[in-house]
A = this chain, B = another copy of it.
Amino acid sequence: MQELNDTQSERDDRMISIDRVGVKNLRYPVQIRDKARALQNTVATVTLAVDLPHQHKGTHMSRFIEVLSSHGPVLGVREISAIPLELIERLKAETAHIEFRFPFFLEKKAPVTGAAGLMDYEVTFEVSATRDTVDFVLWVEVPVTTLCPCSKAISARGAHNQRGIVTFGVRFREPIWIEDLVRLVEDCASCELYSLLKRPDEKVVTERAYDNPVFVEDLVRNVAARSNKQENIVWYRVEAENFESIHNHNAYAMIESEKAIPPTSRKVES
C-alpha cells in the first residue's frame, strides 16, 4: 500500500495559503449535555476545517473524519473545544474552524394546564482555534410569536401576528447553557411557542401576545438590552425574521455588538 502516490503532500508553488479547507455537510449523531436530563441525543450537521500553508498541495480529508470518529458521541463545551486542537495537531495546521449544528429539545409545560410537550430549537456550536486561543460562538435559533404594535394600535379589533425566528449568537466568559439563551430570547417576544397547548392554554397565549406587541425592532433590542446586562456575554449578534402574516416577504432586524474584550485574545485555560 505504501507506494501509492501521496499527491496531497506534494509541494505547491503558487505561494497561496488557504484560509480553510476541510469537510462540510457531514451528518453525525451526538449527545449534548443539557440542564434537565444530563445527556440528550440528537444529530448534528458538521463542518471541520483547518488552514493550509502555501507550500502544501492538499490537506488529508480522511483525517478529519478520523478525528471526529475518535471522540465518543458526547459533545459538551469542553469536548467541542478539544476537537479544533486535535485537528491542528493531526493536520499540522495553525488554525482550525468547526461547526456543529443540531436540533435541541426542551420539554415545556403549557402555561395553564401544564400539559408537557417537546419544543425543538436549532443550535450551532462554532469554534475557531489556534494552538493558544479558542473562540467559541454559541448560536440558538428560537421561534417565537410576534404581534405587530402598529396593527394593534390602528385596528378596532385584532392585530396581525406571526411566527418569527430569532437567531442569537454569543461569545461568553464562562460556559453558558443553551436553555438560558433560549429563555432570554423567549422572554423578549410577544409570546413563546409551545408544541402542546389545550384550549385554556391557547386562550392565555393569545391574550399574552396581544398584551405584549413587539416589532421586529423591539425583539432585537430586547435581546440586546438583556445581553448588555449579562456580564458573562462579551459579544453577541441577534437577528430576527418575522414571517409576516400580511405579506409574502419577511420583516428583518439585526444588531451586532462587541461588548468587551476582543474574543480571539481569550486563552483556553487561563
- In the complex where A143-B248, A163-B162, A243-B163 touch, is A155 in contact with B7 (Cβ < 8 A)? no
Chain B residue at minimal CB-CB distance from A117: B65
Residues A160 and B161 in contact, CB atoms below 8 Å apart: yes
* Binary interface encoding of chain A residues 91-112 relative to chain B, with 1 for a CB under 8 A from any of its CBs, else 0: 0000000000001010000001
**B65 touching A195, Cβ below 8 Å:** yes
Residue numbers in B under 8 Å from A251 (CB-CB): 22-24, 61
Asked if A120 contacts B202 (CB within 8 A), the reply is no
- A130 adjacent to chain B (CB < 8 Å): no
Mask, A121-163, CB within 8 Å of B = 1, is 0000000000000000000000101111111111111111111
A16 touches B255 (CB 8 A): yes
Interface residues on A, range: 35 or more
From A19, A49, A149, name the one whose CB has the most chain B CB atoms within 10 angstroms. Answer: A19
Q: Which residues of B contact A207 (CB under 8 A)?
A: 155-158
Partner-contacting stretch, out of A78-86, A171-179, A216-224: A216-224
The minimal Cβ–Cβ distance linking A218 to chain B, given in whole angstroms, is 8
Indicate if A89 sits at the interface (CB-CB under 8 A).
Answer: no
Copies in the complex: 4
Complex Cα distance, B15 from A225, in Å, reads 9
Alpha-carbon distance between A193 and B112 when the two chains are bound, in angstroms? 33
Task: Collect the chain B residues with CB atoms within 8 Å of residue A197's CB.
Answer: 62, 246-247
Provide the bound-state CA to CA distance between A24 and B44, in Å.
Answer: 22
Residues of B within 8 A of A231 (CB): none
Evaluate contact between B200 and A26: CB separation under 8 angstroms: no
Q: Closest CB-CB distance, A170 to chain B, in whole Å? A: 16
Whole-angstrom CA separation of A159 from B200 in the bound complex: 13
Residue of chain B at shortest CB distance from A112? B1
Closest to A237 in B: B19
Q: Which of B146, B206, B244, B245 contacts A158 (CB 8 A)?
A: B206
Closest to A216 in B: B21
Beyond A103-B43, A155-B210, A203-B155, whether A245 also contacts B117 by CB under 8 A is no
* A168–chain B nearest beta-carbon distance, Å: 14
- Nearest 10 pairs of A and B residues by beta carbon: A158-B210, A41-B41, A26-B249, A5-B153, A155-B206, A24-B252, A27-B120, A21-B253, A7-B150, A1-B200
* 27 A-B pairs (CB sep. < 8 Å): A1-B113, A4-B153, A7-B150, A7-B154, A16-B228, A19-B255, A20-B252, A20-B254, A22-B251, A23-B251, A23-B252, A24-B241, A41-B41, A62-B196, A69-B117, A148-B202, A151-B202, A151-B206, A154-B202, A154-B203, A158-B159, A158-B207, A160-B205, A161-B162, A163-B248, A194-B247, A195-B249
